[in-house]
Structure 1
Amino acid sequence: MIGILLPVHNEERRLGACLESLLQASRHPGLNDEPVTILAVLDSCTDHSADIAQEYGIATLDLRVRNVGRARAAGARYLLAQGARWLASTDADSSVATDWLVEQLALNVDAVCGTITLSARDCDLSAATQALFERDYRHQDGHRHIHGANLGVSASAYVRAGGFPFLSCHEDVQLVRQLEHSGARIAWSCKPQVTTSARLDARTREGFGAYLQSLEKIADKPSH
């Protein structure tokens, strides 16, 4: 079984599109009918995220920790207990490509760090900030980007590395560092595709949204 891990905190605006994409990816013929469990870890949600997950028939965990590291770790424990051999992680403000899982598994490694593309429809960024982001981002194999929105790891490598740390931010980066330390084979690939929100209302102080905020400030500075 393949497990998809999705932490959720008040994502009613974007969750439906995310789940639609995950369901399509879970039905890809390249998976040869292997079962896929999609798990939404609802962390301190006060909106209709739980109702949306129920409408889509998605498995859920309800937490009150307001900590993405703990949410991902709890979700991973659940999926491993269900017999998952592979854990694929994304975010509730993202949409995955139909062949997302197939491309991760085809790399035949212990872990996969994929790239992201900013959503053109869900974007709060100025044109100057988007250009700044694209200038420094590497959409190619061999990149060194780490995104919880596009991450995959085998069950054995995940357990060997010690799992997601209980961090409120950068839990994905720390897991990859643990994987590297444990000797895991990691593919830095642009083949598994994920499109993510370019919103500026960051869920964490130091997360991806906060990074985009910092780029916006740089782009807004007058040139001399």
Structure 2
Amino acid sequence: MELTIIISGLIGFFISLIGFFIISSIVKSIRKKERELISSVTSLSRGTNSELNLILKLLKSGIPQVTIYHDLLIKKNNGKFSQIDLVLVTSEGIIVFEVKDYSGWIFGSGNNTNWTQILSYGKRKYKFYNPIKQNNNHITELRKTLKQFENIPFFSLIVFFGDCELKEINYVPKGTFVVKSHRVFEVLNLIKNENEPTEYTNKREVVNKLKELVSLGENVEYQKKHIENIKDMVGKDRIFK
């Protein structure tokens, strides 16, 4: 009787072990395919996990990889840089994404310079630059890079990842959308359904320009300068407590 129980226990153990290895193998295979999907657009070492997650969502939905551009860098006339998280070229126009990753409650207005993140039930508050203004600045700089962009509609998507709640957001301009990551496709469908197809005078020119800006984002020297510019703008090295 005891031997039977032991044998049954061993059989159960080995079945569980085999099941574990099968599931582990399936998970590894899925992750490998996901990495390959993302790599068809960008390097796995570029951007944030949330940006890569968004790229994966877009690809899995059937959006062609040739229409997605990640981590674009624009050199401005003043020698500084504007960095764009993601650009999607669609029939209705160009969609520019600003990706955020926050927890807590988010309060903000399209008119204000800063938005507020509240944590610990109001005990901690943090300010961050208005992402609507931030992405509008990106779009303004992107429009300057190509004459054709002046006549193409642009849409701004502020996508929030993380365990956050968009508590009170107001004064969002037309053509701009503030959205939690799981509702991105609702917005993409809205843009498609409410806008007529636009006419690209030279789509190859658009593609080449976006590819060029993606390449600039790979430039190590430019990356360093961009980081230095941000540090200088924040000015923490000029604060003495």
Q: TM-score, normalised by structure 1?
A: 0.33
Higher relative contact order (CA 8 A, sep 6+): 1
More helix by share: 2
Q: TM-score, normalised by structure 2?
A: 0.31
